[in-house]
Amino acid sequence: MSEETIFSKIIRQEIPTPLLYQDDLVTAFRDIAPRANSHILIIPNKLIATVNDVTADDELTLGRMITVAKKLAKEEGIDENGYRLIMNCNKDGGQEVYHIHMHLLGGQPLGPMLAI
Ligand code: 5GP
């Protein structure tokens, strides 16, 4: 059983955070420490700790995360110029919050994919 993170409290609005989108499967809100002009997090309402914990039962939710990313990119006005979707997994992936989330980044040229 995974431990809840701050994201569960945001989903339930126990920590008031303006939501850009919420439905029965996913929630989206702005990253607290934006790395680009637009930086939105799209997360499943269900706690899934890492991408390694995803199962076939989660496929609808993961698909919804992408369709919501597309909708929000359009609302942000960044769809035509483009954007980047990122999911970090575990230590080497740079994951900090153990409740999976998709970063939607854009609003400026994002440069090379990795800065290693
Ligand atoms: P990760 O490194 O796990 O892929 O990304 C976690 C992201 O969550 C980071 O970009 C971080 O800024 C963001 N974050 C962490 N805590 C909070 C919070 O309380 N509120 C919001 N809106 N974002 C958070």
SS3 42: strand
Percentage of the chain with pLDDT > 90?
96
Is 39 among the residues known to form the active site? Answer: no
Place of tokens 């980044």: 105
Summarize pLDDT for 59-102 with one digit per residue, the tens.
999 999 999 999 999 999 999 999 999 999 999 999 999 999 99
What is the structure's pLDDT at 110?
A: 97
- Residue 1: pLDDT over 90: no
> pTM for this structure?
0.97
- Residue 115: pLDDT over 80: no
What is the structure's pLDDT at 51?
A: 98
Burial track 73-108 (b if 16+ CB lie within 10 A, e otherwise): beebebeeeebeeebbeeeeeebeebbbbbbbbbbe
| Residue of 30, 43, 96 to test ligand 1 pocket, by largest number of atoms within 8 Å of CB | 96
What is the structure's pLDDT at 44?
A: 98
Instruction: Work out which ligand 1 atom sits closest to the CA atom of 88.
Output: 4
Q: What is the mean pLDDT of residues 20-35?
A: 98
